[in-house]
Amino acid sequence: MNILLIGSGGREHTFAWKIAQSPLCEKLYIAPGNAGTKAFGENVAIHVTDFVKMQDFCVANHVEMVVVGPEEPLVKGLRDHFQADDRTKHIGIVGPGKAGAELEGSKDFSKKFMKKYGIPTAAYETFTKETVEEGISYIRKQQLPVVLKADGLAAGKGVLICPSHKEAESEFKSMLLEAKFGAASQKVVVEEFLSGIELSVFVALDGSDYVILPEAKDYKRIGDGDTGPNTGGMGAVSPVPFADADFMQKVSERIVSPTFKGLKEENIDYKGFIFIGLMNQGGDPFVIEYNVRMGDPETQAVLPRIKSDFVSLLEGIAKGNLRTYQLELEDFVSATVVMVAGGYPGDYEKGKPITGLTNTGNDRALVFHAGTALNQSGQVISNGGRVLGITGQGNDLSAALNSAYRRVNQIHWEGVNFRKDIGQDILQWEKTNVND
C-alpha cells in the first residue's frame, strides 16, 4: 500500500526507516520530511497542518494510510478533516481525532479524564482569569515546589516548576493575565509535585484493543546531570530496568486499562498511539501527562527494538484489527544520544555542514536525522535545534552506549553539543539494585 507519513523530526526518520523495511509498503511519502527520510521515500512539500493539500495529494497518489507523527495536526483535527470528505474517508489514519487529541491538547481535559476514571495522577485544580484570586490562595496552600501548567499546547514550554510560592504566584498571574503562553495559558492547571524516576510508556490503540509497546526513559534537560533548561529531549534508553514485570503490571492495571475504558465511555474512537509520561513514586506509577503520539527521541530507541512487521502494527491501528497482531521484540538494548546545535534550546545557528555521516563499519549504530537539510551542493547541513539522534545497540546498556558514543564522536559540525551522561543514572541504578 502507499503510505503518507506526516512530520519532519527524528521520530519520523525512524518511522520512515521502519516502514520502508516492510513488504507491505509500496510507496512511502513523507510530508515534509528531512534529509534523512529521503533515503526511504519521497519527501513532499506539504505543511503538517495543510489538510486540504494533504487530502488532494492522497487522492492523486492513491494513499491508503496516513501516519501522523506530531501532535499539532492531530489536535487541529487531521482525522476529522479526512473523515468529513467523501474522497478521503476510506483512508486509514494512525492518530486520534480532535476529541481524543484533547488528552494532549488540553491539560484540563486530561486531568478531568484521569479524575473521572480513577487514574493515579497529581492532585490539581484548574483556574482562569475569572478565578485568579482563588488560584492564589490554592497556590499558597501547596507544598513546594508548585507545578503550573498552561492548559493548551505551548511547544513543550508550558510547564513551570516553581521553587517558591512567590514565584508561583507571579508566574501564575503572568500566564493568566498577561497571556505568557498566548491562548494556551487562558486556563492554568496548578498541581502537586511528584518525585521519583520518570518513564515513558507507549500504547498502540485501535478503538477495540490495545498493545503496550516497549517503554523508554528520556533525558529532557540540556546539561549533564539533568541540569539547565528543558529541551525536546537529549537522549533515550529502552528498556528501562526498573520497569520490571511487577511495575508494568501496575501500569497496565491502574493506568492503561482504565485509560482505554475511559475513552470508550467517552465515545472516543481512539486509533493511534498514546505516550504516557509516568512518575515511579516509591514503586507506584502516577501519570504526569498524556501525549497522543509517539515520543521523540524515545521512538528512536523504541522502534529498532520492534522485530515484528511495523506496517502491520500501523495497519492494525488504522483498521481496528490489532487483536491479531503479535508484537515481537529484539533482545538488544537501545541507547539514543541526541546531537544538537550549540546554543539550543536558546538561540542557535543553522546551515552548518555536517561531516562524518558516512557509515564507517559500525553496524550497531543508527543515525536518525531531525533538523537537517541538503544545501545546493547536496551536502547535509544543520537545520534545527535537535539535529541528529544516534541509536546504539548492545547486549547490555554499557555496550549500547559505547556503540552510540563511538558513532557520535565520528560526526561533527561547528558548535555541536550533546549530553555525555545518557544512561548513567540507569547504570548506577543497576549497580545498586543488582543484588536485591
User: Does residue 220 interact with ligand AMP by CB under 6 A?
Assistant: yes
Contact between 16 and 33 (Cβ < 8 Å): yes
Q: Is 169 in the site for ligand GLY (CB under 6 A)?
A: no
With contacts defined by CB under 6 A, name the span among 170-178, 189-197, 329-337, 421-429 that binds ligand AMP.
189-197
Written as one letter, the residue type at 120 is P
Under 8 Å CB-to-CB from 393, ≥6 apart: which residues?
304, 332, 333, 334, 364, 365, 366, 400, 403
Per CB under 6 A, the list member of 269, 289, 421, 425 interacting with ligand AMP is 289
Q: Which partner, ligand AMP, ligand GLY, none, binds residue 298 by CB below 5 to 8 Å per kind?
A: ligand GLY
Q: Which does 218 bind (CB under 5 to 8 A by kind): ligand AMP, ligand GLY, none?
A: ligand GLY
Interaction between residue 108 and ligand GLY (CB under 6 A): no
Among 104, 169, 296, 315, interactor with ligand GLY by CB under 6 A: 296
Task: Quote the cell numbers at residue 324.
Answer: 491479531
Which of ligand GLY, ligand AMP, none lies near 233, with the C-beta cut-off 5 to 8 A by kind? Answer: ligand GLY
C-alpha to C-alpha distance for 337 and 365, rounded to whole angstroms: 11
Q: Kindly state whether residue 71 participates in binding ligand AMP, applying the rule CB under 6 A.
A: no
* Distance in angstroms (rounded) separating the CA atoms of residues 27 and 19: 10
Q: Does 191 bind ligand AMP (CB under 6 A)?
A: yes
- Tell me how far apart the alpha carbons of residues 240 and 249 are, in angstroms, rounded to a whole number: 14
Q: Taking CB within 5 to 8 Å according to partner kind, which of ligand GLY, ligand AMP, none is near residue 193?
A: ligand AMP
Alpha-carbon distance of 139 to 171, in angstroms, equals 11
Q: If you write DSSP's letter for every residue of 314-330 in order, what string do you get?
A: HHHHHHT-GGG----B-
Cα separation, 46 vs 40, in Å, equals 17
Q: Which stretch binds ligand GLY (CB under 6 A): 47-55, 80-88, 138-146, 293-301?
A: 293-301
- If one asks whether residue 73 binds ligand GLY (CB under 6 A), the answer comes out as no
From the centroid of its chain, how far is CA 65? 21
Interaction residues for ligand AMP, span 121-150 (CB under 6 A): 122, 147
Using CB under 6 A as the binding rule, whether residue 190 contacts ligand AMP is answered as no
Q: Is 295 in the site for ligand GLY (CB under 6 A)?
A: yes
Establish if 72 lies at the interface with ligand GLY (CB under 6 A). Answer: no
- Pick the closer one to ligand AMP by CB: 52 or 123: 123
Cβ 411 vs Cβ 354: under 8 Å: yes
Of 241, 90, 264, 106, the C-alpha closest to 187 is 106
Binding flag, residue 5, ligand AMP (CB under 6 A): no
Handedness of CA 107, 111, 112, 114 (dihedral sign): positive
CB 259 within 8 Å of CB 274: yes
- 277 binds ligand AMP, rule: CB under 6 A: yes
Q: How far is the CB of 232 from ligand GLY (least distance, A)?
A: 6
- Tell me how far, at minimum, the Cβ of 226 lies from ligand AMP, in Å: 9
Return the C-alpha cell found at 26.
509500496
Single out the residue of 138, 193, 242, 429 in contact with ligand AMP (rule: CB under 6 A). Answer: 193
Other C-beta atoms closer than 10 Å to the C-beta of 356 total 14
Phi, then psi, of 317 in degrees rounded to 5: -65, -50
291 contacts ligand GLY (rule: CB under 6 A): yes
Residues forming contacts to ligand AMP in the complex (CB under 6 A) are 122, 147, 156, 159, 191, 193-194, 198, 220, 277, 288-289
Residues forming contacts to ligand GLY in the complex (CB under 6 A) are 218, 233, 291, 295-296, 298
